[in-house]
Structures are given as C-alpha cells and as structure tokens.
Amino acid sequence: MQPEAVELVVFAAVALVVALMVAQPAASRRALLVRGGVGLAGTGAIVAVPTFDLALLVLLVLALLHSVVDAKRSFAARLRLPAMGVGLLALAIVFARALGPDVLDRFAAVGLAAGLAAVVGVLPYVHSFDAEEPASSSPIAWLAYVGPAVAVVVVADAQGLLGADAGAAFSACLLGLGLINMVWGSVASWLTETTSAAWRYSFMADWGLALCGFGITLVDGRRAALIVLFSIVLGRLPLYLASREAVRERVVTERPINLLVAAALAGSAPFAGFSARVLLLRGATQLYWPLALVLALGMLLWLPASLRLGRSLGVPRGRHALGVAAVLALNVAVGLYPLPLLAAARL
Amino acid sequence: MVEGAGGFLAWLGASLVVLSDGRRGLALGVLLAGAGIALVSLSTAGLVGALALALGGVVAAAGRLVSGPPGWAIMPAGSTPRLVLCLASGIAALWVGLGVTNGDGASLRFAVLATVGLAGARALGSADTATVLTAAAVLALAVGGAAGLGGQSPYAAPYLLGAAIAAASSWIPIRTPQIPTKSEDPRPGPRSGSVSGSP
C-alpha cells in the first residue's frame, strides 16, 4: 500500500466528519454519512487491493454505486466518464504489458494520464454538473473525495508499469494536463456566471497544481502534490460544503472571515496551499526553470476567483463556524509545519 | 483454435451491444462477450476464473432480458456509424493484438482491446440506462480478463470480481432523475446585498 494513498484515505475520513458538522438538515446528514461511508470504503479498497486490475474493478464498482444514488443528472450522464476512465486505464494496461515496440509504452502513458483525468473529472474530461445536486452525488465526490487517493494509486502503479522513456512521457502528459487545468479552472472560476460552477472550476484549478506536482518527477513535486491534495480534501471540500447554503440563497458577505477563507483558497501564507506552491516552484526550478515561470504566472490567477468564492461563504454560525474554524486551523498547521504530513507519506 | 474462436465471440458480443437498442440484442451481446472472454482467458485464468467470467455473462444477460427497451432492435435506422465503429475497432484490435505486439496471448489481447474499446464507446454514446449498464458489464468482464495479460495471474479475484460486477450491473434498479418543475423550485429569491452573475 502506498503511504501517500493511505494518508489521503485518512484525510477523506476526516473530511467526512467535517462534512457532517457543516451539513444542514438532519436527514441530509444521515444520507451523507451512508454515502460518504460507502465512498470511503471504496476508496480504501482501491488503495488496499494488491493489483492494478483489482483497483480498476473496485473503481468501476464505485462508479456504479455513485451513479445509482438519487441525483438530478441521468444515470448515463453520471456513469459515462468514470466508466470511460476505467476503459482507458484498462487499455493502458494492455499496452504496458504487451511485448512490442517502445511506442506501445507511450500509448500506455497517454492512456494512464487520460484515464486518470476521466475518472477524476478534470479537463479534457469534465463531468457534467448540476448546481442543485447534493454534493455526495455530484462530480465533486470524484474531484475532492475519491479522486485524490485514486490519483496516487494510478501514479504509483504507472511507475511499475512503464519504463524510463514512457515514464517521461507520462510525466509530460501530467504536466500538460496540469497546466491546462490550472489556467482553465482558475479563469473559469473567476468569470463563470454561477457561484456553484465557480466552486467546481476551482477544484479543477487545484487539480492542475496536483497534476503538475505529479508530473515533476522530483521529490519536491510529490510533496507539493500531496499538500495540494490535502488542501483539496481538507480545505476546499469542507469550505465548499459550508458555502452551499449561502450559495443557494445567493448571499454574499464581505466580513473578515470571508477574506480569511479567500486567502486559504488562494494558497496564501500561512495556509497549506502556500507551502505546496513553494515546493512546486522549487521542484520546477530544479527540473526546468521556464516551467517555474509559467507556474508562478498561473498561480496569480487564483486570487480573483478566491475572493469571489470567499465572499460566497456567507457568515458561518454555530456548527458551521466551528467546522470552518477547524478547517482553517488545520490548513494553517499544515502550512506552517508540513513535515509530519510528509514524513507519514515517506516523502 | 479455441482461443481464436473466443476472441471472435468476444468481439461479436461487444459489437452486438454497440449495435442493439433492445433488451434481447443487449442480452445476447453480453452473453457472447462473456463466453468469448472466458474462452480466451482459459489458459491464464484457469477453469475457475474462466467459468466465473462465463457465468457473469450469463447472469448479466438474464438480468438484461427482464429489463430495458423491448425487442431486439439490432441495427435500427441510423446505426451505420456504429457498424463502422465495430468493424474499425475489430480491425484495429486485430492489427495491434496480432501484428504490432508479440508473445503469447494474442487472442486475449485482441479480445480485451476490442471489448474495452467498444464497451467504452457504447457507454459514452448512449443515454439509455439499460444500454450503459450492459456496456459497463462488458467492460467489467474485459477488465477481469485483462488480469491475465501479464501471464498467469496469481489471484482469481480479478476474474471473480469482474464477473460479480457484470452479473450485478444488469440487476441494478434505476430510478428516474427528479427534475423539479418551475413551480417546485425551492430556491428563494435573491436577498438584499446579494449579487448574481459574474463579479
């Protein structure tokens, strides 16, 4: 088992507890607990199974289960892209295991990167989204709950499946996908009409950073990716859940808490996103300095979108305020001292 | 010879799933695909694994026979692109499985490439629940069979799990999505101080 992946499953468990704290009505909390528990068990199984084939099959089970829960979108719309992701990953296995010319390994690299993007729901395979859908049955479950552990499993297994040349092609694919998602996600999050959609695009932008981290094959890249995934699971996801009520009622506030949340979402110091960005820039500079320049320019795009999302949180009260405070405190702790997190993942 | 026939059956079954819109056609497709994948997996999965895959296909076919659009509906009007897809994917899988790659298990490579490609395309292209579930069943059988690509698999679990997913997917009860009408929309109007649209 990958220690990084195990850590992400633990983060998902904590995120479920925080989600239960910030969820509004009691009935929805019960449904959230059941769905979140099933999702957590499935994610744990993906991490725990001994072979990649089994992980793909568990992923397909999870996709089927996620598609049958009550939602606004049709069953086919919900199953389509995760199933296609499993198919692409299966094709990648065929190419990686077959004996033949080296170009087959490169096809495998492309299949692994594309399959990962399709399962998670980032560009170019963005899942359809309905703002009125519960978070547990929306694409956010793939982006922020199941996806991070799946990404770590796919990247780790890719290292075993691909040779050095194809491994470089895989890294290049991840970097390309990462840069596209960074720019598209942050610009769309800033300019899109509805606030719910803006939240969804902001997850994609964060995924761009994580994919770039995985693409930078140095240890700093892996560290950055882990911290970005932490900030998705235990930062952006709980804040998104806490903001849903205010977004639905179209409440916009500009209190200090909103600015604080905006800073956390933008990856400012001292939050976790800042240390991830520093590690990412350091890794990119070691690998190829113009890449660091592009990443630094891309990171500036987070600011306007984060200010918008921070304002959409409203003024949290009671249990909500407690949940938001816990999330911000966790992110500050990891931002100031990420070493225990990285040591637990053996990075 | 047996493996070659299995590969052809797997492609034919997946093609039927692509070409059919009715429950009978879909059921026959998943049955043939399951039987084909079981035949090509016999040497790597062993008797238990191959039987599990075949049984998964049979149960999936039985489940599909009792739900979904009625009739066969094989190659309804406008299905020429689907027919071209089936032929093209078969030729491409044959070329990659036999010509580009080498080593043992050419039939398994062909079967997995063809069925995964066709099932993925069907899942992407259809909006009908029964069709997408049948495609998912074929995909599960193919991913289960793919476990034998690296030689004899030490675990029977991928075959058993693939078969179980295929068998269960055809029996999943699907509820129609709830689309609220305008009068049922629970959202209140904008509050004071609120903004909508772009900042």
Which residues 137-196 of A have a C-beta within 8 angstroms of B?
190-193
Task: Provide the shortest C-alpha distance from residue A304 to chain B (in Å).
Answer: 9
B113–A99 C-beta distance less than 8 A: no
pLDDT grade for A328, boundaries at 50, 70 and 90: very high
User: A299 CA to chain B: closest CA distance, Å?
Assistant: 20
The phi, psi pair for B195, rounded to 5°, reads -130, 155
Whether residue B199 is predicted with pLDDT greater than 50 in this model: the reply is no
The pair of structure tokens assigned to B12 is 């034919």
**Domain range annotation of chain B:** 2-174
Reply yes or no on whether the pLDDT at B192 is more than 50: no
DSSP string, A40-91: HHHHHHHHHSSSHHHHHHHHHHHHHHHHHS--SS-HHHHHHHHHHHHHHHHH
Number of H helices, E strands in chain A: 17, 0
Contact of A322 with chain B, judged by CB distance below 8 Å, is answered with: no
Rounded CA separation B90/B110 (Å): 8
Whether residue B173 is predicted with pLDDT greater than 90 in this model: the reply is no
> Mean pLDDT over residues A239-257, rounded?
86
Candidates B100, B132, B146; nearest CB to A104 = B100
CA distance B130 to A3: 39
Alpha-helical segments (H) within chain B: 2-19, 23-66, 80-94, 106-125, 129-146, 157-169
d(CA A91, CA B55): 24
For chain A positions 75-94, those within 8 Å of chain B (CB to CB) are 75-77, 79-80, 83-84, 86-88, 90-91, 93-94
DSSP 3-state assignment of B140?
A: helix
Distances (CA, A) of B82 to A73, A244, B17, B78: 25, 42, 10, 9
pLDDT at A287: 92
Give the one of A60, A71, A249 whose C-beta lies nearest to B140's C-beta.
Answer: A60
**C-alpha distance from B173 to closest chain A C-alpha (Å):** 8
Cβ pair B139:A90 closer than 8 A: yes
The per-residue pLDDT for B177 is: 53
Q: How confident is the model at residue A47 (pLDDT cuts 50, 70, 90)?
A: very high
Model confidence at B191: pLDDT above 60: no
Determine the Cα–Cα distance for residues B8 and B3; give it in Å rounded to an integer.
9
Closest CA of chain A from B4, distance in Å: 18
Task: Check if the beta carbon of residue A116 is closer than 8 Å to that of residue A85.
Answer: yes
Most B-contacting residue of A49, A51, A94 (CB-CB within 10 A), to test interface? A94
Give the residue with greater pLDDT, A313 vs A119: A119
Cα–Cα nearest to A42, from A66, A74, A78: A66
Would you say residue B184 has pLDDT above 60? no
pLDDT at B190 over 70: no
CB contact under 8 A, A104 and B172: no
Which of A58, A59, A60, A311 has the highest number of chain B CBs within 10 A, making it the mutation to test binding with B? Answer: A60
Min CA distance, A99 vs chain B (Å)? Answer: 5
Q: Which one, of A260, A95, A275, A295, lies nearest residue A176 by Cα?
A: A295
Q: Which residue of B has its CA nearest to A254?
A: B193
Question: Is A34 at the interface with chain B, CB within 8 A?
Answer: no
**For position A252, what pLDDT does the model report?**
82
CB of B105 closer than 8 Å to CB of B44:
yes
Q: Please name the member of B100, B146, B168 whose beta carbon is closest to the beta carbon of A93.
A: B146
Q: What's the pTM?
A: 0.91
| Higher per-residue pLDDT: A113 or A318 | A113
- So where are chain A's domains? 3-344
**Does residue B175 have a pLDDT over 80?**
no
pLDDT at B185 over 50: no
Q: A68 at the B interface (CB within 8 A)?
A: yes
User: What digits encode the pLDDT tens for the residues A109-153?
Assistant: 999 999 999 999 999 999 999 888 888 889 999 999 999 999 999
The pLDDT, as a whole number, for residue B153 is 66
Q: Do A54 and B158 touch (CB under 8 A)?
A: yes
Beta strand ranges found along A216-308 (DSSP E): none
What is the reported pLDDT for A295? 95
* Secondary structure (DSSP) of B60-99: HHHHHHHSSSSS--BS-TT-HHHHHHHHHHHHHHHIIIII
Contact: A91, B142; criterion CB under 8 Å: no
* Residue B102 dihedral angles phi and psi, to the nearest 5°: -135, 175
Enter the tokens of residue A6.
Answer: 């195990």
Helix (H) or strand (E) holding A113: helix A103-120
